[in-house]
Amino acid sequence: MVGTEICRLLTAASKPVKALVRATSDPAKVDKLKSLGATVAQGDLRDSASLKAACRGVSAVITTASSMPFAYQPGENTPQTTDQDGYLNLIAAAKEAGVQQFIYTSFPPMAASFPLQDAKRAVEQGLCASGLTFTILHPTYFTEVWLSPAVGFDFPNRKASLYGTSENPISWISFLDVAQFAVACLGNPAAKNVTLALGGPEAISPLGVVKIFEKIGGKPFEVTLVPVEALQGQLAAATDPMQRSFVGLMIGYASAPAIDMTATLKAFPLKLRAVEEYAWSVMV
């Protein structure tokens, strides 16, 4: 998602791009990167030697990779092995190679402790202490993920499972706009050694989002509210790192604050996609 879009934006701007792919990567996705004009380097966040080779001759690293959700493999490709240890490997390789800027895609701190968050916070700490010029991106909940059937927002069937009271306004952001910000940070003085909280153009509660979809689709939704207490029980009972991480993100969703983008958009004057625009694209 985000990584391929970043490559598209960079190659469209005639920037030379090296894309790191695993030996097991989907050949169709690798071909897509090549068709965009990216040079493909085979490697793995869990393989330090491959990262050293990939970072040679590179002026900036932009990274969005994660073990979750698509690449997750219990005990092998996890928040610990990939999102934490793997990224610390990459930071070390980038520093050794003399990389001038390291742009890391994370997410805002959340109250609950869960494997993916613990990994993100450890990497942020390591990056800040590395001596590299860094930019840490903290996008909030992705529109295309959290307003999709994959996590209970089943708009094709007019059903939605929402978390907490779902009255808190969330600044949903399109993954396409996260890619825009990552590219805009390259060489930008406003992005030097900073953490950027990123949201969309407006904050809308999950219940407010349902109303948008109902208006566009012309039919009511069946809404189920999942109490935070039930999610906390699931988090306490879960043993699988991916399950714990998803539940932790759901708990964060239940209290996610709105993000004021006024100052950020002055430094990075980008046009952001609204939730309603996404709703029209999937409902009509």
- What's 221's DSSP letter? -
Reading the chain (284 residues) residue by residue, the pLDDT tens digits are: 899 999 999 999 999 999 999 999 999 999 999 999 999 999 999 999 999 999 999 999 999 999 988 889 999 999 999 999 999 999 999 999 999 999 999 999 999 999 999 999 999 999 999 999 999 999 999 999 999 999 999 999 999 999 999 999 999 999 999 999 999 999 999 999 999 999 999 999 999 999 999 999 999 999 999 999 999 999 999 999 999 999 999 999 999 999 999 999 999 999 999 999 999 999 98
Q: Summarize pLDDT for 2-45 with one digit per residue, the tens.
A: 999 999 999 999 999 999 999 999 999 999 999 999 999 999 99
Q: Summarize pLDDT for 190-217 with one digit per residue, the tens.
A: 999 999 999 999 999 999 999 999 999 9
Q: Which long-range contacts (CB under 8 A, 24 or more apart) does 225-229 make?
A: 225/162, 225/163, 225/164, 225/165, 225/166, 226/161, 226/162, 226/163, 226/164, 226/250, 227/164, 228/163, 228/164, 228/254, 228/255
Which two structure tokens, joined as six digits, stand for 263? Answer: 């100052």
Residue 104: the pLDDT is: 98
Report the Cα–Cα distance between both ends of the chain, in Å, rounded: 22
- What's 102's DSSP letter? E
Q: From the options 3.40.640.10, 3.40.50.10860, 3.30.70.1350, 3.40.50.720, give the CATH code of 2-283.
A: 3.40.50.720
- The pTM is what? 0.96
Domain segments of the chain as ranges: 2-283
3-state secondary structure of 35: helix
Residue 175: the pLDDT is: 98
**Amino acid residing at 83:** D
Q: Beta strands of the chain (E only): which ranges? A: 18-21, 39-42, 60-63, 101-105, 134-139, 153-154, 159-163, 194-198, 222-226
Residue 84: the pLDDT is: 98
Residue 116: the pLDDT is: 97
